[in-house]
Chains A and B, each alone.
Chain A
Amino acid sequence: MRKTYIWIALLVIGSLCIFGCAKKDSDAVRIGVIAELTGDIPAVGASCKNAAELAVREINDGGGILLGDKKYPVELIIEDNAGKADQSASSAQKLITQQKVTAIVGPNASRYALPAAEIAESGKTVLITPWSTAPKATLNSKTNASKQYVFRACFIDPFQGGVIAKFTLDNLKLKKTAVLYDVASEYNKGIAEIFREVYEKNGGAIVAFETYTTNDKDFSSQLTKIKKANPDIIFLPNYYSEVPLQIQQAKRLGITVPFIGSDSWGSEELLKLCGKECEGYYFSTHYAADSASDATKKFIEAYKAKYGTTPDDVAALTYDSFGLLLQAIKTAGKNDRQAVRDALAKIPLYQGVTGSMQFKEGSGDPIKSAVILQIKDGKFAWFADAKP
């Protein structure tokens, strides 16, 4: 009896190995994706995976990528980092050393992008993070100079924090802000600090600067404190899964002032989790699906047709990351990590679905603009543009 079980187990493991490893195509250009498919922000990972598959399918439908005089198919290898920093690093390691990918796209959230970026830099493999806006992601942790192999498709927090601060002061004309942010998360912390700096420099006052740690669900103590400070508006640079709780609890405590957020709000999940409670609030993000150019509209249509939802900013940025990467591989003309890196760094003004972008000289950060969206009738609606 026992022996039968062992044989069945061996058979299962064996077949997993055969089917798991058999699909290798030695000629293909392999691109790795690290996405947050499970963990605390699975909607981000799902968007990233969807957009990656869309981008790769489009290129493969055209016969693949042209290198020299032959077209090569693109093979996508998707790794789940389970919403963990250590697993992000090990996924990057696995993609670089075992799967021998040409380049990596992802992870998205800064707290996962940072460890993966370190591995990619030491492994001399291009890594483009679609959504990580923390400046540190593309900076060398020892010298603070730009990393050589790490790029991103989005703007960075100093820019975004400044945009939100100025929007609050100039457009909304609100001079007293309270901030509640996750002190254990790289992204939230960075943007909160930059917001405070720019806001105070331009004549605003931060009346409360409160924190919590990832996975907290009770914010009543901090919100009661914020209520006592009597702000005009509350800034929540937190992820879409936490923001609805914060807003609901604030309302239950009798807080009536509006809220403003950052690009971490921009998931359709926010609308589902929030219901009507987030109506009328603003946040800054990468692109507005409703005021899109022709190329963007084409992408939105294709995405909608395949997955049934409007692509969020992560999807659009992942698509752009692939656009940048595929163009760089084409320019390099060969499936070689170093050549792809050099081509990517020198890419001329790229017209992506989230607007035009170009990498700053010697840096992995693109110059691009931001938009402010408002939540209106249960949808994200364009409100204002913010140029770099």
Chain B
Amino acid sequence: MAYLFQQALNALQLGSIYALIALGYTMVYGILTMINFAHGDLFMVGAFFCFLLAVYLKLSFVPTLLLSMLGVACLGVIIERLAYKPLRAAPRVSAIITALGVGLFLENFTLALSPYPKHIPPLLTNTTWAIGSLSISSLQVLVIALSLILMLILDFVVQRTKAGMAMRAISWDKTIVPLMGVPVNKIISLTFAIGTGLGGAAGVMYGLAYPVIDPYMGIMVGWKAFICAVVGGIGNVRGAMIGGFILGAVEILVAAFFPSTYRDFVAFTLLLVLLILRPYGILGKPQPQKV
């Protein structure tokens, strides 16, 4: 029982990080119907910001988190303005290729600065509570709680505020909404800022939970988060959160009850089956193609 509970905690931790990154994919897709493949690398940049702020400026946890989020959000907006905006009218494939290019640029830029894996110093003193054979670390609790709080704030922003309404409206119809006086460019920038900022936050938390970071860390995590977004129904904010927790749970629980060698094989087969049953993802709705 304690074993199961421990694994469930592990799954929650991994899942909340996947969910935070998946949100970035899904928000950008929702508003631009474009997959921002540079998102995994923006997440990596978030972890490196965390490293720089913590090591060279010796900031404590809260300013490090906020500044990293801000830094990545600014970077996200700049990338959107420079790389994606000129291609907004171009075919989607061009924008996706550009996104891949931006991702490669970020990776190799970081690589050029220093190829060595970096160690993020412990920003918070970690205590481990033992309850019977169950071990709960304060870090684990923090990662889960902080991700949930960020997701709740996002949900509030998207569902209850005017800017959120504008985001949803743009993702609904891109020709009529601007005519209603919605500042499309500003809203798109805001979406990028929020989406990549969350990716930056995920980078910081990932760096705290797994404190060895390298320029390639965003690739695999980015792919997995993209899968989460698709499984949850890409374009749907709540779907991305659910997708993140599903992938986290599947990965951890498969390794917990099967030989760990089969983990990726079983995990991704399960996700494939899920997509066969619900091709638009769990919360996604089929969109008829307009001809």
* Chain A residues in the interface with B (C-beta under 8 A): 37-40, 42-43, 183, 210-213, 215-218, 220-222, 224-225, 227-228, 241-242, 244-245, 248-249, 251-254, 269, 272-273, 275
Q: Which of B117, B119, B137 has the most CB of A within 10 A?
A: B117
- From the candidates A38, A215, A216, A272, name the one contacting B119 in the complex (CB within 8 A): A272
CB under 8 Å from chain A, chain B span 185-222: 206, 209-212, 214, 216-217, 219-221
Interface centre among A183, A215, A228, A253, by most chain B C-beta atoms within 10 angstroms, is A253
B115 within 8 A of partner (CB):
yes
A248–B211 contact, CB under 8 A?
Answer: yes
Contact of A245 among B212, B253, B259 (CB under 8 A): B212
Provide the bound-state CA to CA distance between A106 and B139, in Å: 41
Q: Is B60 an interface residue (CB 8 A)?
A: no
Per the bound structure, the CA–CA distance linking A316 and B124 in Å amounts to: 39
- A189–B271 alpha-carbon span in the complex (Å): 27
* B-side contacts of A269, CB under 8 Å: 116-117
B260 x A221 contact (CB < 8 A): yes
The CA-CA distance from A179 to B220 in the complex, in Å, is 24
Given contacts A252-B135, A252-B137, A275-B119, contact A244 B212 (CB under 8 A): yes
- CB of B190, distance to nearest CB on chain A (Å): 31
Query: Which residues of chain B come closer than 8 Å to A245, judged between CB atoms?
Result: 210-212
A-B contact pairs, 9 of them (CB 8 A): A40-B214, A42-B115, A221-B251, A245-B210, A253-B6, A272-B119, A273-B117, A273-B119, A275-B119
Q: List B contacts of A211 (CB < 8 A).
A: 259-261
**A-side contacts of B111, CB under 8 Å:** 38
CB < 8 Å neighbour of A273 from B10, B212, B252: B212
B: residues with CB less than 8 A from A are: 3, 6-7, 10-11, 13-14, 111, 115-117, 119, 126, 128, 130, 133, 135, 137, 139-140, 206, 209-212, 214, 216-217, 219-221, 251-253, 255-256, 259-261, 263-264
Main secondary structure, interface of B, reads helix
Q: Is the CB of B119 within 8 A of A212?
A: no
Residue of B whose beta carbon sits closest to that of A38: B115
Nearest residue (CB) in A for B219 is A215
Q: Considering the complex, give the chain B residue whose CB is closest to the CB of A42.
A: B115
A217 to B117, CA, bound (A): 13
Q: Smallest distance from the beta carbon of A239 to chain B beta carbons, Å?
A: 10
Given contacts A221-B252, A224-B256, A252-B139, contact A241 B264 (CB under 8 A): no
Name the contact of B252 in the complex, choosing from A38, A220, A272, A275 (C-beta under 8 A).
Answer: A220
Do B115 and A37 have beta carbons less than 8 Å apart? yes
Q: A218 touches which one: B116, B128, B210 (CB < 8 A)?
A: B210
**Whole-angstrom distance between the alpha carbons of A39 and B116 in the complex?**
9
- A218–B140 Cα gap in the complex (Å)? 12
A183 nearest CB neighbor, chain B only? B261
Closest-by-CB residue of A relative to B253 is A221
Are B216 and A40 touching (Cβ within 8 A)? yes
Given A225-B255, A228-B3: A252 and B140 interface contact (C-beta under 8 Å):
yes
CA distance A227 to B133 in the complex (A): 9
Q: 5 shortest A-B CB distances, which residue pairs? A: A254-B135, A220-B10, A221-B255, A42-B115, A217-B210
- Docked Cα-Cα span, A39 to B219, in Å, equals 13
Query: Hey, which chain A residues are within 8 Å of B140, CB to CB?
Result: 252
For the complex with contacts A215-B217, A273-B119, 17 further pairs of A-B residues with Cβ separation under 8 Å are: A39-B216, A40-B214, A40-B216, A42-B116, A210-B255, A217-B206, A218-B13, A218-B210, A218-B252, A221-B10, A221-B252, A225-B255, A225-B260, A227-B133, A252-B126, A252-B140, A253-B135
Complex Cα spacing A38 to B216, Å = 10
Find A252's partner among B128, B133, B252 (CB 8 Å cutoff). Answer: B128
**Which residues on the A side are within 8 Å of B3 (C-beta)?**
224, 228
Tell me the complex Cα distance, A273–B261, Å.
27
Bound-complex Cα distance A143 to B126 (A) = 54
Beta-carbon nearest neighbor of A215 in chain B: B220
* Contacting pair A222 B255 (CB below 8 A): yes
Residue among B116, B216, B255 making CB contact with A43, cutoff 8 Å: B116
Chain B proximity of A35: nearest CB distance (Å): 12
| Distance in Å: Cβ of B260 to nearest Cβ of chain A | 5
A254 to B66, CA, bound (A): 31
- Residue contact A218 to B119, C-beta cutoff 8 Å: no
CB pair B7 A224 closer than 8 Å = yes
Q: Which residue of B lies closest to A37 (CB)?
A: B115
Chain A residues within an 8 Å CB radius of B259: 211
Please state if A210 and B260 are interface contacts (CB–CB under 8 Å): yes
Chain B residues with Cβ below 8 Å from A249 are 210
* Closest Cβ–Cβ distance, residue B50 to chain A (whole Å): 15
What is the chain B residue whose CB lies nearest that of A80? Answer: B115
Are A221 and B7 closer than 8 Å at their CB atoms?
A: yes
The smallest C-beta distance from B268 to any residue of chain A, in angstroms, reads 12
B255 cross-chain contacts in A, Cβ below 8 A: 210, 221-222, 225
